[in-house]
């Protein structure tokens, strides 16, 4: 029995991939100057809540587990290296300034990673590349090359499994070890190159990427795309303005304060 999709996933999946990528890039750039823990943590928690409505919780948990050593390292390095008044926790002197900066930088990293997760999990690779061609004026040659590469990469796990299964059936005892893995990797490389070559020839045969050509007109942006932009911009602006009015908003100068 298939599990029900999160409530926001169908709506977000229907949004234009180029719009989602543009918003992710804009938000990631806008939060780079922010260095206070309250603002960055608030933005991260809001992004996390929205992502949980669009991406299965188990996927979000796995992604956070992968990032956990990185963000913990950010906090620890700042706590141990930044001077200033300290507080005692479990017998250790912890820099207050270092803790604030570490939490802010860690929350900022998690915010960007969470947004990227939401975008990638709700966007099909082919639709994303074609949307970039239509919206961002990505050259057709680059678009179809990326599309070919994405399809080859998507098929690598299945090809690798087939190669290893064939090795195990032919060489029950010799199908393991560095040599077997090396032969399997070489076979995977050759297979991928041949598949890429066949796909390139197929694209050339259809006249794709050899000239201006005649591409279908991109579908117009919908009201949902516009609402996505409005909601993201408004939420971000409210959090930043609240931080400015509340007095806890900090910029890059706080890193050396």
Instruction: Give pLDDT tens digits for 229-248.
Output: 999 999 999 999 999 998 88
- What pTM does this model have? 0.76
Q: What is the pLDDT of residue 111?
A: 94
Q: What is the pLDDT of residue 139?
A: 78
Domain C-terminal end among 189, 205, 221: 205
pLDDT per residue as tens digits for the range 100-135:
888 999 999 999 999 999 998 888 887 888 788 888
Question: What Å distances lie between residue 219 and 127, 135, 222, 225, CA to CA?
Answer: 12, 10, 9, 12
Q: What is the pLDDT of residue 184?
A: 86
Structural domain contains residue 15: no
Residues recorded for the chain: 257
pLDDT tier at 1, thresholds 50, 70, 90: very low
Looking at the fold, whether 92 and 146 belong to one and the same domain comes out as no
Structural domain contains residue 221: no
Residue numbers of the domain that contains 32: 26-122
Domain C-terminal end among 88, 122, 156: 122
Q: What is the pLDDT of residue 98?
A: 83
pLDDT per residue as tens digits for the range 133-142:
888 787 777 7
Structural domain contains residue 21: no
pLDDT tier at 159, thresholds 50, 70, 90: confident
Higher pLDDT, 2 or 92: 92
Q: What is the pLDDT of residue 198?
A: 82
Query: What total of structural domains would you count in the chain?
Result: 2
Angle, CA 239 vertex, CA 237 and CA 243 arms, to 5°: 115
Rounded average pLDDT over 165-182 = 73
For the chain, give the longest Cα–Cα distance.
71
Q: From the CA atom positions of the chain, what is the Rg in Å?
A: 24
Q: What is the pLDDT of residue 192?
A: 84
Percentage of residues of the chain with pLDDT beyond 70: 84
pLDDT per residue as tens digits for the range 143-158:
777 777 777 777 888 8
pLDDT per residue as tens digits for the range 88-109:
666 666 778 888 888 999 999 9
Q: Distance of alpha carbon 124 from its chain centroid, rounded?
A: 13
pLDDT per residue as tens digits for the range 16-52:
998 999 999 999 999 999 888 999 999 999 999 999 9
Looking at the fold, whether 95 and 155 belong to one and the same domain comes out as no
Question: What Å distances lie between residue 70 and 107, 110, 193, CA to CA?
Answer: 11, 10, 35
Structural domain contains residue 68: yes
- State the angle between helix axes of 17-30 and 223-246 in degrees (0 to 180), rounded to the nearest 10: 10
Domain C-terminal end among 205, 221, 245: 205
């Amino acid at each position: 029995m298939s599990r029900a999709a999160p409530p926001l996933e169908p709506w977000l999946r229907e949004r234009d991939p180029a719009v989602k990528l543009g918003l992710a890039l804009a938000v990631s750039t806008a939060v780079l100057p922010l260095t206070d823990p309250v603002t960055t943590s608030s933005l991260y928690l809001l992004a996390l809540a929205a992502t949980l409505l669009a991406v299965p919780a188990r996927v979000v948990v796995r992604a956070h587990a992968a990032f956990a050593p990185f963000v913990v390292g950010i906090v620890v390095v700042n706590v141990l290296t930044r001077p200033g008044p300290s507080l005692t926790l479990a017998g250790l002197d912890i820099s207050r300034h270092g803790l604030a900066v570490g939490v802010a930088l860690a929350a900022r990293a998690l915010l960007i990673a969470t947004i990227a997760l939401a975008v990638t999990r709700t966007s099909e690779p082919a639709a994303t590349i074609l949307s970039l061609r239509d919206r961002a004026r990505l050259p057709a040659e680059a678009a179809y090359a990326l599309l070919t590469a994405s399809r080859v990469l998507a098929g690598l796990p299945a090809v690798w499994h087939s190669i290893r299964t064939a090795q195990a059936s032919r060489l029950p005892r010799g199908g393991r070890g560095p040599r077997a893995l090396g032969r399997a990797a070489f076979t995977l490389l050759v297979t991928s190159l041949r598949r890429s070559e066949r796909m390139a020839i197929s694209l050339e045969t259809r006249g794709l990427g050899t000239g201006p050509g005649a591409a279908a007109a991109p579908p117009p942006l919908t009201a949902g795309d516009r609402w996505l932009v409005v909601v993201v911009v408004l939420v971000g602006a409210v959090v930043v303005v609240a931080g400015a009015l509340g007095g806890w908003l900090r910029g890059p100068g706080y890193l050396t304060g």
